[in-house]
Amino acid sequence: MADSSCKTQDQVNADFAAIPSGYSTVRLYGVDCNQITTGIVAAKKYGFKIFAGLYNFGSVSADTQTIITAANGDWSTISTIAVGNEWVNNGVTDAAGVASAVSTAKALLKAAGYTGKLVSVDTLAATKLYPALCNNADIDFCAVNCHPFFDTNTDAASAGSFITTQITELRALLSNPNMEIVITETGWPSSGTSHDKAVVSKDAQTTAIAAIKSAFSSNQSNLFLFSTFNDYWKVNSAALYNAEQAWGYLGNAPSDIAAGLVAASA
C-alpha cells in the first residue's frame, strides 16, 4: 500500500481487476506481505499467470520454500520464478553467486514438482558486462531489466528502438545467440526530474509506452511493463531522478485510492 502496509486479499483482487485486457502475466518480486498467496488467488480469479520472484540473496532457500508452500502442489498459475532482481547491478553478489542461488532454488523447486521456467534477473547493462548471468545452463531464458529513461540521450519516442538496440548488443555476447531474451522491466515515469532528452511527464510516459509496445508488437510475451501502478511506498531519490514512485503506467492503484491514500486522478 502507499502507506507501506500490506494489502489484503480484497485489495489485491481490486488491483488485478483493474488490469486491462491484453496483459497475461503479473510479475511479483518477493514473498513478503503474503504476496505469493494473494497473487495466486487474484491471478486465478482474473485469468493471469504469475511471474514470481526471490528478492533476498540471504534467504533463497527459505523464500523458495515460501513459494512452494503457497503453491501447495498446484503450479498451474506460476509460469516463471526469478532468482534475484539486479543483484549484480546493485553489488549484492557476483555472477557466480547468482548461479549458486539459482542452483539452490532449482533443486528445491524440482523436488516440489515445479516444472515451469526459472531465471535470474539483472539489468541489461550488467548482463552485457557479465554475460555469464545468462550463459547459465540452469536458466530457461535471459531475463533483463532495461530502462531507456536512464539514458540521457534517449527521448520517450525512441524508447522502443533503444531497447531493441540493447537486445542486439546483448545477444552478440551470449554463448547461445538464439537464446530467448525477455525484458522483465521497462517503462517511463510520469513525474520526477527530467534530464537532457529524458523528459518526465504524463504525455512522455504515454509516448514511451506506445513506442515500447510497438517495438515488441510481434513478441509481446517477451515484454513486462514497469510498473502497473505508482509505488508510493518507495522513496524518491535524486540519484534516480526523483521518479521512483511514478512509474505506474495505469496511474494510482485502486487499492490505494479506495483506502483514501492517494487521489484517483494521478
pLDDT at 266: 54
Residue 60, domain extent:
19-141
Positions annotated as catalytic residues are: 185
Q: Is residue 72 part of a domain?
A: yes
CATH classification at residue 132:
3.20.20.80
Q: Are residues 240 and 153 part of one domain?
A: yes
Last residue of a domain, one of 123, 141, 159: 141
Q: Is residue 182 part of a domain?
A: yes
Last residue of a domain, one of 87, 117, 141: 141
What share of the chain in percent tops pLDDT 70? 99
DSSP, collapsed to helix, strand or coil, labels residue 36 as helix
The domain tally of the chain equals 2
Q: Are residues 131 and 55 part of one domain?
A: yes
Q: Are residues 243 and 131 part of one domain?
A: no
Q: Is residue 264 part of a domain?
A: no
Q: Are residues 174 and 126 part of one domain?
A: no
pLDDT at 139: 99
pLDDT at 265: 66
DSSP, collapsed to helix, strand or coil, labels residue 96 as helix
Q: If you write DSSP's letter for every residue of 105-155 in order, what string do you get?
A: HHHHHHHTT--SEEEEEEEHHHHHH-GGGTS-TT-SSEEEE--GGG-TT--
pLDDT digits 0-9 by tens, 24-81: 999 999 999 999 999 999 999 999 999 999 999 999 999 999 999 999 999 999 999 9
pLDDT digits 0-9 by tens, 121-145: 999 999 999 999 999 999 999 999 9
pLDDT digits 0-9 by tens, 3-15: 999 999 999 999 9
Q: Which residues contact 249 (CB under 8 A, 6 or more apart)?
A: 187, 205, 209, 225, 227, 228
Q: Are residues 84 and 192 part of one domain?
A: no
Q: Are residues 182 and 115 part of one domain?
A: no
Q: Are residues 120 and 37 part of one domain?
A: yes
Q: Are residues 100 and 30 part of one domain?
A: yes
Containing 250, the helix (H) or strand (E) segment is none
Report the pLDDT averaged over residues 181-190.
99
Distance of CA 249 to the CA centre of its chain: 13
Q: Are residues 230 and 137 part of one domain?
A: no
Confidence of residue 195 (pLDDT cuts 50, 70, 90): very high
Last residue of a domain, one of 83, 114, 141: 141
Look at the pTM and tell me if it is higher than 0.75. yes
pLDDT at 192: 98
Q: Are residues 218 and 115 part of one domain?
A: no
Residue with cell 552485457: 128
pLDDT digits 0-9 by tens, 95-116: 999 999 999 999 999 999 999 9
pLDDT digits 0-9 by tens, 138-179: 999 999 999 999 999 999 999 999 999 999 999 999 999 999
